Amino acid sequence: MSDVLTLEQAAVGFGSRTLWDGLDLQVHSGELIAVLGANGSGKSTLLKVILGQLRLRSGSATFLGTPVRRGDRRIGYVPQQRLAEDGVPLRGRDLVALGVDGHRWGVPLPSRRRRQRVNQLLSSVGAEAYASTPVSSLSGGEQQRLRIAQALAAEPRLLLCDEPLLSLDLPHQRLVSDLVDDARRRLDLGVLFVTHDINPILDKVDRLLYIANQRFRIGTPDEVLTTEVLSDLYDAQVEVIRHNGRILVAGIPEQHHEPAGAR
Ligand SMILES: Nc1ncnc2c1ncn2[C@@H]1O[C@H](COP(=O)(O)OP(=O)(O)OP(=O)(O)O)[C@@H](O)[C@H]1O
């Protein structure tokens, strides 16, 4: 297994506030790592660092042997927010085509090859049926599928997903996580998957990074999602309960807003 991404002694913060420090993380090709933690613990910030949008305070972030940089098409990104507001005149296939074109704005006419590639991507996420529908009228799950197709368009080596399951119902959560899982197996992709709830992807996760209180733990779900580890991270009595193949976390302190591990 080769490393696609390496963070060494990485620290990040804003002003006098440190979000995390001393982070050592290797992401291997074909590996899916879930990123969990309280609101505001720095999960999205980690993705911004890897996307070259934010500088580390110290340490290094290396992608395929060179320092991370902005606009690297070998890193696919599925952002957190919903895709489009009403009135955005974009169809599903246009969105995927943007991923295919990348920075090559102003391509004169859609070539046959380009159209084939867009169709192939749409079909890989099962989105053919609404390829010509305005994106703004699609459901969250449908938009998320298109986002994944767009992120895979440049055949990335690393895929960053920022809460792709947010506000999706259970069947769509499963569908979207299956798509990501399928893509990483097919393309031998490394994946960082930010989520508040580990359960929809529990059977797919190789390791997880859990961030809380400016500290973190990395390991398999069995190693990290334990009463001992989370109580230590949160500096409070936190209970991890396993029931019917699901993981529930109780007792996360108030100031962390939401159950940060799994519900
Ligand atoms: N440019 C910025 N300047 C100052 N503070 C920032 C900036 N960007 C993010 N922050 C703060 O850093 C913290 C971490 O933000 P981040 O978005 O990484 O959290 P998160 O773990 O992804 O949270 P959530 O689960 O709520 O999405 C937050 O408190 C946020 O307000």
Enter the ipTM: 0.96
Report pLDDT for 36.
96
With 60 as the cut, is the pLDDT of residue 34 above it?
yes
Under the banding of pLDDT at 50, 70 and 90, the label for residue 140 is confident
Reduce the DSSP state of residue 147 to 3 states and report it.
helix
Are the C-beta atoms of 218 and 224 separated by less than 8 Å? yes
87-100 residue pLDDT tens: 567 899 998 998 88
**Residues framing ligand 1 (Cβ under 6 A):** 14, 19, 37, 39-45
Q: How far apart are CA 263 and CA 245, in angstroms?
A: 12
Q: In which band, very low, low, confident or very high, does the pLDDT at 111 lie, cut at 50, 70 and 90?
A: confident
Which uninterrupted H or E stretch holds 103? none
For the ranges 41-55, 77-91, 162-176, the lowest mean pLDDT is seen at 77-91
Q: Of 12, 14, 56, which is best to mutate to test ligand 1, by the most ligand atoms within 8 angstroms of its C-beta?
A: 14
Cα 30 from Cα 44, distance rounded (Å): 21
User: For residues 194 and 164, what is the distance between their CA atoms, to the nearest angstrom?
Assistant: 8
Q: 87: helix, coil or strand?
A: coil
What is the Cα–Cα distance from 75 to 197, expressed in whole angstroms?
24
pLDDT for the residue 104:
56
Q: Compute CA distances 157 → 3, 30, 82, 130, 249, whole Å.
A: 10, 9, 24, 27, 33
Nearest to 102 by CA among 130, 74, 79, 78: 74
Query: Left if phi > 0, otherwise alpha if psi is -120 to 50, otherwise beta: which for 111?
Result: beta
Q: What is the mean pLDDT of residues 16-42?
A: 95
Q: Which protein residue's CA is at the shortest distance from atom 24 of ligand 1?
A: 39
For residue 85, the model assigns a pLDDT of 60
> Going by CA atoms, what residue is nearest to atom 10 of ligand 1?
14
In this model, does residue 145 exceed pLDDT 80?
A: yes
| C-alpha 160 to ligand 1 mean position (Å) | 17
And the tokens for 4? 């696609």
In this prediction, residue 259 carries a pLDDT of 40
Residue 239: how many other CB atoms lie within 10 Å: 12
Among protein residues, the one whose CA lies closest to atom 31 of ligand 1: 40
pLDDT tens for each residue of 191-248: 999 998 999 999 999 999 999 999 999 999 999 999 999 999 999 999 999 998 899 9
| Distance (Å) from CA 64 to ligand 1 centroid | 26
Residue 105, pLDDT score:
55
* Mutational test site, ligand 1, from 12, 21, 35, 39, max ligand atoms within 8 Å of CB: 39
Strands 190-194 and 158-162, by their bridges, are: parallel
What ligand 1 atom has the least distance to the C-alpha of 15?
A: 4
Among residues of the chain, what percentage have pLDDT more than 90? 66
The CA 43 to ligand 1 mean position distance, Å, reads: 8
Per-residue pLDDT at 257: 45
- The alpha carbon of 260 and the centre of ligand 1 are apart by a number of angstroms equal to 15
Question: How far does residue 190's CA lie from ligand 1's centre (Å)?
Answer: 24
Name the residue at shortest CA distance from atom 17 of ligand 1.
44
The answer to whether 202 touches 30, Cβ cutoff 8 Å, is no
How does the average pLDDT of the chain come out, rounded? 89
255 CA → ligand 1 middle, Å: 15
How many angstroms is it from 113 CA to the middle of ligand 1?
Answer: 40
pLDDT of residue 258 exceeding 60, the answer is no
Ligand 1 geometric centre to CA of 19 (Å): 9
In which element (H, E) is residue 115 found? helix 112-124
The helix (H) or strand (E) run that includes residue 22 is: strand 17-28
* Nearest CA, atom 27, ligand 1: 39
Rg of the chain taking only CA atoms, in angstroms: 19
Give dist(CA 211, CA 247) in Å, integer: 17
